[in-house]
Structure 1
Amino acid sequence: MKTSSIIMVATSFLSFAGCTELSSMDPDAQVVSVSGREFAVGRLAGQRNAFYGRPNNVDAATLWYGDMSIFPQNVKAIEKATGCRVIPESIVNSGIKTDAAVNCSH
């Protein structure tokens, strides 16, 4: 594949991605703001007290990929959306997403 073809495919993907908020993929997701950035938080399928958190904007998520500071912000977003504390031992980070269980007994 020629370099120009690769650039065209990448540009097309990013153009499409720029139009999509990740919360639109999960209608039950709650959008919260952490440090001026939007995060989508939703319940993990089949889990009572486990949630995911990830940046809501695909463009921003693309820019943050590999930025390790995104994971603590995902945790803060989960805590903000649920009103519960994340159980540190349950945290699983992957790509731009964090999965974690919460403890709601304050």
Structure 2
Amino acid sequence: MPLFCATLVVRDAVTKLDALAIVALAADAVVTDAGTMRPRVVLPGGAWVEVEIPKFGEPPPLALDVYSELGDDHAKIAALALLTRLEERTAWTVKPDFVL
């Protein structure tokens, strides 16, 4: 089954573990698959978020990849809903990395 992805870019410095916890808190969800190579936060409606951090000490941004099996529009809508929650509940600077 194909996966569709809509990426949100966060310009703040944060670890992957902290980012997952913050996303889960903002989305009223939990981190699943913790301790694995692909921990994620499942969002309402079936999309999920995985956090990609810069490699080798590079500065931010970090990427919040919102995945969906239901289609590109579903991934984008879920990403925008998450962006709204993050703006309401955090001090993060978040921008979509996709065409609206």
> TM-score normalized by structure 1?
0.37
Structure of greater Rg? 1
Highest RCO, 1 vs 2 (Cα 8 Å, sep ≥ 6): 2
When you count helix as a share of all residues, which structure comes out higher? 1
> TM-score normalized by structure 2?
0.38
